Homo-oligomer: A and B are copies of this chain.
Amino acid sequence: MSLHEECGVFGVYAPAGTAVASLVYYGLYALQHRGQEACGITVNDDGLFYSYKDLGLVGDVFAGDKLAKMPQGNMAVGHVRYSTTGGSDRKNCQPIEVNHQKGRMAIAHNGNLSNSYELKNKLELDGAIFHTTSDTETIAYIITRERLRSESIEKAVEKAMYIIEGAYSLCVMSPGKMIACRDPHGFRPLCYGRCEDGSYVIASESCALSAVGAVFVRDLLPGEIVVFSKDGITSITAHCKTKPKKTCIFEYIYFARPDSKIDGISVHEARRRAGHILAEYYPVEADVVIGVPDSGLDAALGYAEKSGTPYGIGLIKNKYIGRTFISPSATSRVDKVRIKLSAVESTVQGKRIVLIDDSIVRGTTSGRIVKLLREAGAKEIHMRVSAPPFLHPCYYGTDIDSEEHLIAFKLRTEEIKDLIGVDSLGYLPKEKLSELTGTNEFCSACFDGKYPTSVPLNMPKNKFEQKISKGSEA
C-alpha cells in the first residue's frame, strides 16, 4: 500500500512530423503507477529539443494547451517520477536535457545507482557542479565525459555502463538517435514495440505499448543497448556478458501493472501463482477470499482457485482518490483508509474471510483494513501476504526503507498478527519466490539481503537522503 517504484520511462522513434509528444503522453499515462510526483516530455524536432516537465500527474502537468503547444517531431522521450528523497523538487524532474557542444541529449532514467555517491564525489572534486540530487545527472555527466572521447553517443553510453553500477533502464535521445539501455543485471524492466506506421516505442512496461497501439517486439536483454536511428535498429550487448540477470521480483509482486509482461512472464499470472502458493501453505476453513484492491486482487483470485473457497468482492476502492487528497487531520474520526477503501457488507457480514494483500510495511494500513472488515461483520479474518516479509532496504530504485521502519524486521509474524488484529497470518515463503516466475534470475535482496552489487556502507539512516551537516563550513 505504501511502497513506491521510482520511475517509468517512455521513448518514441517515429517518422518526422509525428505527434510524438501525444504518444509519449499516452505512454506515460499507462506508466503513471510507476511514479506520481512528477513527469516530463522532451521532443526532438529535427535535432532541436523542446522540454516540458513539472511536479504532478501526467494529466495535470499537461492539462490545458501544454501538449498541443509541443512541436511535432521524429523522437521524444518521457518520464514519470516518484521521488524518494527529502523534498520533491521541480528541478529533479526528468528528462534531463544536456546541451553540450559535443552533442545534445535528453535522458530519462528508471532505477538507482549503487555507486552514485562515489561517482558524484569524484566528479565534484573534478570540478563538476550538480543542480539536482538525482542519479540521472550523474549518469548524464558520465556519458558526456565519455562522449568527449567516443566516436558516437552509443559508444559513450556503452563506456558509461562500465562505470555506473546498480539499477538503470535508460532512454537516451540524441539529435539523431534514440537509445534504450538496460543495466547488466536487468533490475528494471524495459521493452520496445512497433506501431503500424513503422514507429518504435520504448517503455518501462509492456502495458504502455498497448496503450499507444504498438505491438510488443521484445524485452531488452540485461546489459543491452538498442539504438534506433535512420540506419535502422542496432543492438549492442558484447560489453556485459558476465553479470547474472537479477530482475526485481517486486516488479511482479507489486510495482508493475498486472496487464504487463516482463521478460516474457505475465505479472497477473505471477500474482495468481503467489495466491496458489499461499493457498497451499496456509489453508484455512473460510467462506470467501477477498483481495485488497488493486494489487491484491490477482493473488486473491489465485488463492480462491487453489483453495476452492469462493472469490468475493469485499473491499471497494474509491476511484477518485488522487494526489490532491487533503489529509483528514482536521477531524479525528475520519481516517484515510476509510476514505480510500470500504467494505461490502453483504460479502463480509458473518463470514470467515481470507484477506490477500501484497505486503505489510508498517502495519498501520493493514490494521485499519481489518477494522473496516470487522465493523462490516467479518467473523474471522485470515490474512495472507503475497510477498515474504521485508527485512532489508532496497538500493535499486524503490523506497523499501531502512530496516528500522520495516515491521517484519522488528516483530515476529505472530506479533504482527496480533498487532493488525487478524486470526491468522501467512507470508509467501521466500523459498517459493522462484515459482512466481519459474526462474531464479531475480533480485530479492529486500527479502534475503543478497545484494547483486556492492552496496553503500555507512549509509545514513534514511538511505536516500544525503543529510547535509549544518552550518560549520563557510
A residues with CB within 8 A of B: 18-19, 22-23, 25-26, 29-30, 32-33, 36, 46-48, 57-60, 62-65, 67-68, 90-91, 97-104, 121, 124-131, 133, 140-141, 144-145, 148, 152-153, 174-177, 195-197, 207, 210-213, 229, 257-259, 261, 266, 268-269, 294, 297-298, 301, 305, 310-313, 316, 318-322, 324-326, 328, 330-331, 333-335, 338-339, 342-347, 468-474
Question: Nearest 6 CB-CB pairs, A to B?
Answer: A47-B471, A176-B474, A266-B346, A59-B324, A22-B330, A32-B320
Could you tell me the distance in whole angstroms from the C-beta of A262 to the nearest C-beta in chain B? 12
In the bound assembly, the distance between CA atoms of A196 and B29 in angstroms comes to 42
Q: Which residues of B contact A104 (CB under 8 A)?
A: 468, 473
Contact with A320, one of B58, B124, B152 (Cβ below 8 angstroms): B58
A211/B345 in contact, CB under 8 A:
no
Question: 5 A-B residue contacts at CB 8 Å?
Answer: A36-B320, A129-B141, A131-B131, A152-B474, A153-B474
Give how many copies assemble into the complex.
Answer: 4
A330/B68 in contact, CB under 8 A:
yes
A33/B319 in contact, CB under 8 A:
yes
Could you tell me the distance in whole angstroms from the C-beta of A465 to the nearest C-beta in chain B? 13
Contact with A339, one of B26, B33, B125, B342 (Cβ below 8 angstroms): B26
A26/B98 in contact, CB under 8 A:
no
A46/B313 in contact, CB under 8 A:
no
In the bound assembly, the distance between CA atoms of A61 and B268 in angstroms comes to 36
Could you tell me the distance in whole angstroms from the C-beta of A210 to the nearest C-beta in chain B? 5
7 other A-B residue contacts (CB within 8 Å) besides A102-B124, A211-B342: A22-B330, A30-B318, A67-B330, A98-B130, A103-B473, A125-B148, A266-B344
Once A322-B59, A326-B25 are accepted as A-B contacts, the answer to whether A128 and B125 lie under 8 Å apart by CB is no
Could you tell me the distance in whole angstroms from the C-beta of A101 to the nearest C-beta in chain B? 5
Could you tell me the distance in whole angstroms from the C-beta of A105 to the nearest C-beta in chain B? 10
Once A197-B333, A318-B29, A334-B212 are accepted as A-B contacts, the answer to whether A342 and B312 lie under 8 Å apart by CB is no
Once A19-B330, A32-B318 are accepted as A-B contacts, the answer to whether A229 and B474 lie under 8 Å apart by CB is yes
A59/B325 in contact, CB under 8 A:
yes
B26/A259 in contact, CB under 8 A:
no
A127/B144 in contact, CB under 8 A:
yes
Once A100-B129, A331-B19, A346-B269 are accepted as A-B contacts, the answer to whether A258 and B322 lie under 8 Å apart by CB is no
Contact with A127, one of B145, B196, B212, B321 (Cβ below 8 angstroms): B145
In the bound assembly, the distance between CA atoms of A53 and B144 in angstroms comes to 28
In the bound assembly, the distance between CA atoms of A391 and B218 in angstroms comes to 47
Q: Which residues of B contact A23 (CB under 8 A)?
A: 331, 334
